[in-house]
Structure 1
Amino acid sequence: MSCEGPDKWALLDRLTTAADSFELSHRTLTVLKALLSFVPSRHIPDGAAGIVFASNARLSERLHGMPESTLRRHLAELVRLGLIGRHDSPNRKRFARNRGGAIALAFGFDLAPLVVQAEMIETAAQQAEAQHERIQALRDRILVLRHALIGQGGADALADDVGRLLRRKPDEAALKSMERILHEALDQAAEDEIETPCVSTLPALDTDQLSASDRQNERHKQDSNKYYFDSEKSDQAMAVQSETAGNNSAQSPEQKKGVTLAEIVTACTEVRSFFPQALRSWDDLVRVGDQIAPMLGIDLPVLNEAKRDMGAESAAITVLCLLEKAATIRSPGAYLRRLTQMARDGAFSLNPMLSALTNRRNCQLTI
């Protein structure tokens, strides 16, 4: 008495999903499907009932006229992969003998190996599905990065390379490599953008209505808000860092940072769109900064590094400032990494950021 095995069509479907793992082509799977179609029941039985004894002519007919030479090649491939076996008669003819209305003896292609490997096929199918999801997520991330790169301009060659890669069927390693290259290109562009001086777009003044001393005062006010980067550190900036770094245990957070909560609330207004409640303490500020960071696309390791090198309060203030300029900053995570590096070098200060936001100058955040 035969015992029914797995659902043949469900098993074929899972094998199709895991086709790459078994090095199966579409044509070879089609031949296997034809073999399965000769099994009367939906489930693959064991014993002689699980042997397909159809001739090559009948198989070719069911395969819409596939040449017998091609058919024999795909059958040999299925045998080589261990998905089916051959149960040959002495003269290599395929036939069956019935006894009591059931198949007692059959010679042909044995489907038992397919049943034996059912669990392995399911595992391979699950792995293939997981890999497909990873690859799809990688492709989506690369498309987003490519769009950001095109928006920055000046990287047409790399954007074209990405387009050519995605038109093919790249493996996971190739996609990860391209994602890393795009991140590096965007980070470099963000650093270049930070180091570019902000050009004021204030309306032109009527020089006839202003005295020379007034014009000098206007220039003085404009220059006073510049920030000096690590390539042009000023002695004054270094002195401020040294002074605020000393004796932290005896200072309040406002003394440590050189700014007050009131100044932060005045300068950073966008945060109210997400957190209408007033910031009443430095703990509130840090908590809100932690929630805003992922909204800007800032990864947790980047934020933690900023907290370590800037201090939790300074990192939170910086995140709120980046939120103010989110529409013009293409890579907030890269900005924060750059500012963290500046903090390690002792060339970072909060005051220019908040002053620029308070003055509402029409330029990108150049902290």
Structure 2
Amino acid sequence: MSDAYFTTPFGRRPMTFGQLARQVAVRSAPAEGQVQKWQVFRDITEGKARLGVSDRSLAVLHALLSFHPETVLTSGSDLVVFPSNRELSLRAHGMAAATLRRHLAALIEAGLIIRRDSPNGKRYARKGPGGVIETAYGFDLSPLISRASEFERIAEEVRAHRHAIRLLRERITLLRRDIRKLIAFAEQEKLPGPWHDLAVRFADLSAPLPATTPSDVLEATATALQRLCQEVHKSLKENAIFQNLSANESQIERHQQTPPAENPDSESAQIAATAYASAPTSHQGNGNPSDIHLPDVLTACPTISSYSSTPISSWSDLLKTAELIRLFLGIGQHTWHESCQILGSRTASVVVAAILERHDQIRSPRAYLHSLTTRAKTGAFSVAPMIKALLRARLAATQPPNATLKVTDNTAGEAIGSLPSPRRAEHPAERLPMPPFPGQSRLRDLKDPPRRPEHRLFARSGHGP
């Protein structure tokens, strides 16, 4: 290692104030004893943008470090490496000579190495007795020891900055997703609120952010999205949607998308003669069907009991079961809550039980329940005649044909003839016209036996057999 305090470049290259200042900094920096050269190289790689070096320059520095035989760089030892340009180019993955010189100058400019030129400008080492290197001319690696703490600090700052950028981008992505889906939900459900203005503001904040976007721009974008998300939440909370949703998981209150509107009045023609058309009476908006009893409901509608895990012994059990059944019947949450508000929760549960009992005769339970709710607004619906009609139909179905009539053989025909013929509930599909079947003629030909030849002969001649 040279004993000179300052070293100057060889040839026509002039001495600069920067080179002098870097040598002073290296000499005045406190030595850290020893450092791992590859750990220092990793720190330099992390902070290469801050240090002003490129990846190709780091490849040359890696090649220079490989010429030092020890893994640990110790202060006070010989830290000058003196490879030839040919060997240095081979270890730098075949880098061209001109490119190699350019990146060596970049490493010297960044203060990572110091050039120690010989009197003739060549790189070599002068050895003394026993093969010990007395003087070496080449590239001094001592800045890697004196600036090791600086490199470590820069690497930590770069890693912290990269982590903060990653968190900012994740935050922006989550806020964009939440705002987009909440606005789409509110517009789909037609909730009141300034959703159009919020959507326009969100579109302005949805521009793509390149990878080179500065952190201050990302921070400003995240702050604006956070304020917009708070306004969206505030608009949602001002509506009644959170009041209708319960935190009780046993309620199974999931969002049901409202299907396209159907004509509720067409459902009244799809049920039997003993269906639910009732005389105009005042509806019970308080939810207490005082003119019917729970045993009568369970007798008239026994099917609902099979959907309950426990026996239905109270109106609350019936309400919980009806809440489950209306999901299976396709009755949306909006229609259900509207029915509970107008009919009352108990009456709405009884109606759902009745709809389940006659589900094979009702095309759209949701539209039918909406029709009954609309009639109840004008006082044209009562649940009592519905349950009584179901009780009569069930009683008529369970009685044997000869339970109430005993006659002799001579008067049986007259007695049976005087009985009214029962009317069976007609299924909607039975009134649909049968589609023309081209194979009916062929089936009729198969049913009729073919005529014998003599039949055709007599038929042609006009004489009998």
TM-score (norm 2): 0.41
- The answer to whether structure 1 residue 36 and structure 2 residue 65 are counterparts is yes
CA distances 1:241-282 after superposition (whole Å, capped 9, x unpaired): xxxxxxxxxxxxxxxxxxxxxxxxxxxxxxxxxxxxxxxxxx
Question: Cα distance 1:214–1:120, how it changes in 2: closer, same or farther (>3 A)?
Answer: same
Q: Distance in 2 between matches of 1:182 and 1:194?
A: 18
- The answer to whether structure 1 residue 157 and structure 2 residue 203 are counterparts is yes
CA distances 1:42-79 after superposition (whole Å, capped 9, x unpaired): 11244572111112221111112111221111111111
Q: Distance in 1 between matches of 2:177 and 2:56?
A: 38
Aligned to 2:105: 76
Pick which of 186-195 and 101-110 moved more: 186-195
Q: CA deviation at 1:10?
A: 1.1
Aligned to 1:23: 52
Aligned to 1:231: none
Q: CA deviation at 1:86?
A: 0.8
Q: CA deviation at 1:119?
A: 0.9
Local SS of the residue matching 1:93 = coil
Q: Distance in 2 between matches of 1:170 and 1:62?
A: 36
- The answer to whether structure 1 residue 181 and structure 2 residue 224 are counterparts is yes
Structure 1: tracts of 5 or more residues without a match = 219-354, 360-367
- The answer to whether structure 1 residue 171 and structure 2 residue 214 are counterparts is yes
Q: Distance in 2 between matches of 1:90 and 1:173?
A: 52
- Paired residue type of 2:36: D
Question: Cα distance 1:81–1:210, how it changes in 2: closer, same or farther (>3 A)?
Answer: farther
Q: 2:118 aligns with which of 67, 89, 97?
A: 89
Q: Distance in 2 between matches of 1:6 and 1:210?
A: 97
Q: 2:85 aligns with which of 34, 56, 65?
A: 56
Q: CA deviation at 1:210?
A: 8.9
Question: Cα distance 1:191–1:212, how it changes in 2: closer, same or farther (>3 A)?
Answer: farther
- Paired residue type of 2:220: S
CA distances 1:53-112 after superposition (whole Å, capped 9, x unpaired): 112221111112111221111111111111111111122111111122221111111111
Aligned to 1:118: 148
Higher RCO, 1 vs 2 (CA within 8 Å, ≥6 residues apart): 1
Local SS of the residue matching 1:41 = coil
Local SS of the residue matching 1:54 = coil
Q: Distance in 1 between matches of 2:140 and 2:87?
A: 17
- Paired residue type of 2:116: H
Local SS of the residue matching 1:44 = strand
Q: Distance in 1 between matches of 2:126 and 2:279?
A: 113
Is 1:48–1:106's contact at 8 Å kept on the other side of the alignment? no
Once the two structures are superposed, the pairs formed by residues 168-247 of structure 1 within 5 Å of their partners are 168-194=211-237
Q: 1:147 aligns with which of 177, 180, 183?
A: 177
Q: 1:106 aligns with which of 110, 122, 136?
A: 136
Q: CA deviation at 1:211?
A: 6.3
Is 2:176–2:206's contact at 8 Å kept on the other side of the alignment? no
TM-score (norm 1): 0.51
Pick which of 143-152 and 187-196 moved more: 187-196
Q: CA deviation at 1:22?
A: 1.2
Is 1:94–1:108's contact at 8 Å kept on the other side of the alignment? yes
Local SS of the residue matching 1:71 = helix
- Paired residue type of 1:157: A
Q: Distance in 2 between matches of 1:88 and 1:212?
A: 112
Q: Distance in 1 between matches of 2:125 and 2:77?
A: 8
- Paired residue type of 2:71: R
Aligned to 1:134: 164
Q: Distance in 1 between matches of 2:99 and 2:279?
A: 92
Q: Distance in 1 between matches of 2:139 and 2:229?
A: 57
CA distances 1:142-191 after superposition (whole Å, capped 9, x unpaired): 22112112313446735641xx21x5233322221121121122223334
Query: Structure 1 vs Structure 2: percent identity of aligned residues?
Result: 34
Q: Distance in 2 between matches of 1:34 and 1:118?
A: 19
Aligned to 1:338: none
Q: Distance in 1 between matches of 2:213 and 2:147?
A: 29
Local SS of the residue matching 1:115 = helix
- Paired residue type of 2:60: V
Aligned to 1:6: 35
Local SS of the residue matching 1:49 = coil
Aligned to 1:339: none
Is 1:48–1:105's contact at 8 Å kept on the other side of the alignment? no
CA distances 1:262-308 after superposition (whole Å, capped 9, x unpaired): xxxxxxxxxxxxxxxxxxxxxxxxxxxxxxxxxxxxxxxxxxxxxxx
Once the two structures are superposed, the pairs formed by residues 342-361 of structure 1 within 5 Å of their partners are none
Q: Distance in 1 between matches of 2:164 and 2:206?
A: 23
